Amino acid sequence: MADKVLVTGVSGFIAKHIALQLLQKGYDVRGTIRSLNKAFQVKKTLEDAGADVSRLSFVAADLTSDEGWDEAAKDCDGVMHVASPFPVSQPRGRDALTPAARGGAMRVLKAATKASRIVMTSSVAAMAYRPDRPPVATIGEDDWTDPDWKALSPYIISKTAAEKAAWDAAVIGGFKHRLTIVNPSLVLGPPLDDDIGASLDLVRFFMTGAYPAIPPVSFPVVDVRDVAALHVAALENPETGGRRLIASADTLSLKAVADILREAFPDRAKKIPSAVLPAWLVRTAALFDRNLASVVPDLGVAPRAQTDYVTGLTEIRFRPAKEAVIEAATALERLNVI
């Protein structure tokens, strides 16, 4: 068991849950953060969640700079590379997010070469996208997104490039057996504080009436608490070395997400969208709206993630997607985010 674990981007939605579970299990945790001004809030959040923060420390480090990473990884037996750019709105350039995602991964892996276990957060986005997918598309451990597909968003391209670069570095550096990559689907569930992740903006926008209608797309969904638990399990189980672990429960259409929210929160039902846009209209509007363009590859496809092998390796069983949706919205209400 690693005694001290580095968690990159510890102020993030997933990373805070990982840090909490590590602290609760008795690990020392060192978190990287771009600005140490955020350290106090992260510490308070984790303490309020029941963690012993006397074993929590921080180092300033940015994915776009070499500075700070050797200090961050020093004496860490385990490294969790969680930080990655996830934009609320899609940038203009197709490769706009790739340098930070790929370069950041390389900086962390270079600093982590002495760690006995390395766990990196990727995404199902690096597995699921290729032209001419069938209406029900299965996503498995050996699947890769086709980065040359012109329909892809900058985010999908960046996650695919960063993961490919990480595996290449692990093979060349001889540490593939010490590297595990976790590939979550759409991450929902309860945030620990009001600094929410970009994926929760979907729920927030639905609850506040920001979307008048819904594109006809579907996504596999996973609860953030299960994502964190899978990271910890990968850290503790050497048999996951060299593997890609999909973190996902069942698949929901965005209409199903809205229906779940409308039923669970009847006082907000009038704000939650019910109309579904026709696919042709989404494709047309996407010519002028970069955010709508990002869902065009998802039109007409209901992806299904294969996770039985993950449960077999780690004994992690994923909460139902409906629970993750409701828990996310409940927490957003409690935290006065909506």
Kindly list the catalytic residues: 159
Tokens coding 176: 């593939």
Question: Contact at 8 Å (CB) between 107 and 66?
Answer: yes
Token look-up 């996504």 returns: 219
Least Cα distance to 199 among 211, 212, 185, 210 occurs for 185
Question: Contact at 8 Å (CB) between 191 and 332?
Answer: yes
Least Cα distance to 109 among 164, 160, 55, 146 occurs for 164
d(CA 135, CA 138): 10
Question: Contact at 8 Å (CB) between 82 and 18?
Answer: yes
Question: Contact at 8 Å (CB) between 36 and 60?
Answer: yes
DSSP 140: -
Q: Contacts by 69-72 with C-beta closer than 8 Å and gap 24+? A: 69/32, 69/107, 69/108, 69/110, 69/111, 70/111, 72/6, 72/8, 72/30, 72/32, 72/111
Question: Contact at 8 Å (CB) between 207 and 338?
Answer: yes
Question: Contact at 8 Å (CB) between 301 and 124?
Answer: no
Least Cα distance to 181 among 241, 237, 138, 101 occurs for 241
Q: Give Rg (Cα) of the chain.
A: 19
Least Cα distance to 191 among 220, 221, 225, 222 occurs for 225
